[in-house]
Structure 1
Amino acid sequence: MATHPQGPHISSVPPEPPKIHLDCSGKTSDNSIVVVAGNKLRLDVAITGEPPPVFTSTEGRVRIEKRVDCSSFVIESAERADEGRYTIKVTNPVGEDVASIFLRVVGYLLERKKKGSQRWMKLNFEVFTETTYESTKMIEGVLYEMRVFAVNAIGVSQPSMNTKPFMPIAPTSEPLHLVVEDVTDTTTTLKWRPPNRIGAGGIDGYLVEYCLEGCE
């Protein structure tokens, strides 16, 4: 019985229109993303389709980083002017898909008050973009509270919870009138007076050091 050789088996992948999947972390249900001014934004966007779709439009200072399983929507350092709605469009030979996201860019305003007072004092008038802040010009021994607002182009948020009351504590001044009162073959007796300014932190004790002749 004769047999006929079979040719190579060829399979093809059916074409599939593009689809943008905006179910990545870091966004809310209305496709809005919040980023602090000065920070880098990276939103991973999964895209399906056959042949593989390509981006055909984005706006502003956005760049697209393409990877095998996902592409990323990137702004290097967010600015207040970057806030707004962005459209992402992808196409392939059998179709296209469009999605939009709203980018909210926020900064911070900080306020401080003395405990028991109702008068808050603003610590910055330009929006602060970091998440660490050093407060200065406080009075040692006084209890303070602080709070923070987030700000974007739409307006100002409700205030954060107040911090727990805290008290600035400065180091003491130096001890006074250090003298050698007595010396024997094996001992030395020292005497000094307390610092003029001890401060709210008090004094826990003293450290005593010595060096050989000629050292600094």
Structure 2
Amino acid sequence: MLALALLGGLLPWLGAFTGSAKGGRMTTAYQNDRLNAQLLQAAEGGDLNRVQVLLKAGASAVAADRNGRTALTWAAKGDHVAVARVLVAAGADPDPQDTEGNNALLVTGETGSVAMLREILKARPDLTRTNRFGGTALIPAADRGHLPYVRELLRTSNINVNHVNNLGWTALLEAVILGDGGPTHTEIVRELLAHGADRNIADRGGVTPLQHARQRGYAGMVRLLADSAGRP
């Protein structure tokens, strides 16, 4: 009876303790969510000092918003290189993709930022990840004329130069089809060929890069592609 009486006296205290513990966990979770949200906002805005403070306060370098966009992807979109450097050093993962199919590396293929590319490569990204069009980072860079970026990516990584996207195009085909035939896109064709681009991979209609270049009257590209094929 005495034992039961003692236990009865302890139950309210135990209940209060348990409720307090649960409340503490909920408070901690709320604080973490708040810190992570602030980190994402700071990364988007390029606020380096704020990012550093939030990481020290417990914000997660791998946090993502409701669309799956990480702080590192936000930094890449804004070309906030210093912010990306801090996030990578804190363990940010470059691979998670948002609802638009973007991640930090794929964004750099669109922006053409060599400085950002160098920071992202330090995190050892998955070079096979593809965007919403099924293309690697190299493909949009080639069609948009980001020559320095194309050179850096080909020089410093083992990205597949002959990857075919959902349209049935390689980076070489895109440089010809979507390029303007000018000096920059012509040099991109040269770089791609120098790094193993296969001139014989045709589009879904069976048209090769050389044939596309001839149809468009891109004389410089024609010379490069014809020379690569062993023809004058």
TM-score using structure 2 length: 0.24
* Higher normalized helix content (fraction of residues): 2
Q: Which has the larger radius of gyration?
A: 1
- Higher relative contact order (CA closer than 8 Å, sequence separation 6+): 1
